[in-house]
Amino acid sequence: MSLKVHHTLLLTGAAGGLGQALRSRLKANCSVLRLSDREALGEAQSGEEVVLADLADAQAVEQAVAGCQAIVHMGGMSVEGPFGPILQANILGVYNLYEAARKQGVKRVVFASSNHVTGYYRQSDTITPAHPPRPDSMYGVSKAFGEDLSRMYFDRYGIETACIRIGSAFAEPKDRRMLASWLSFDDLHRLISACLTTPVLGHTIIFGMSDNAVAWWDNASVRHVGYVPQDSSDVFRDAVYARTPEPDLSSPAVQFQGGGFLLAGPFGL
């Protein structure tokens, strides 16, 4: 059961894949779910508000944030690509979001970080949130920036943040790598709900994964969040093995946790 501890909750990136998966689920967490994206979102449904805003537009972001008590920030670029769009959406955009939160008195943010902040650890490693970042891409660098920025806004202004290093959030695992990194949509919602309702969040980095038997990440140090995953990639293991080839152990995409992101690019501006 989700507690409605916030009257109005802002979901950025609501038109994206995870935003669409969360749109119906997050209504259980608030009285009013405000949806924001630069893309069309359709008509507001019962219990919803719709606000169009480009994250690079500071004024539009502040208007989207005004009147909210908490933010679930899923907006921005979610893949590797040219640095220019990443700079606008993921670096300038997250700065605009935290400045708006500061000005509007919002004290809790759930920030969609990424496992690509630590993509250059090997798949044979098990790491914790205390391990230093090792970004695998410009996208990973942008998410590391967001984690650092949110830390400063917590230390200076008291804005609590959960930086969720999302693994692979899909309906089911697509390949063998995702047997370790998979995060079900329902577990993503459980994790966000825990971050929104834990009494003291502080500034917390937590890996977003389901209860997978194969795991590279250890969340034992962040039990204060109260996240208990209930799904597992294990039920998909036979099907994944049957439809995928043997891994090429010489490939960086197989050696390192970041997978295919290590092979993307280079891109220009």
Residue pLDDT, tens place only, 59-96: 999 999 999 999 999 999 999 999 999 999 999 999 99
From CA 100, how far away is CA 85, in angstroms rounded?
A: 21
Residue with the two structure tokens 């391990």? 131
Query: Is a pLDDT exceeding 90 seen at residue 257?
Result: yes
Predicted confidence at residue 3, as pLDDT, reads 82
More confident residue, 40 or 12: 12
What is the value of pTM for the model shown? 0.96
Average pLDDT over residues 197-213: 98
Residues 6+ apart with CB under 8 A from 187: 208, 209, 210, 211, 229, 230, 231
| 91: nearest Cα among 106, 76, 112 | 76
Give the confidence band of 10 by pLDDT, cuts at 50, 70, 90: very high
Percent of the chain whose pLDDT exceeds 90: 96
Backbone angles phi, psi at 111, to 5 degrees: -105, 125
Q: In the predicted model, is pLDDT for residue 1 greater than 90?
A: no
Domain ranges of the chain: 6-263
CATH number listed for the domain at residues 6-263: 3.40.50.720
- Is residue 241 annotated as a catalytic residue, yes or no? no
Which pLDDT does position 267 carry in this prediction? 84
Per-residue confidence band for 128, with pLDDT thresholds at 50, 70 and 90: very high
Whether the Cβ atoms of residue 158 and residue 200 lie closer than 8 Å to each other: no
Catalytic residue among 95, 120, 121, 139: 139
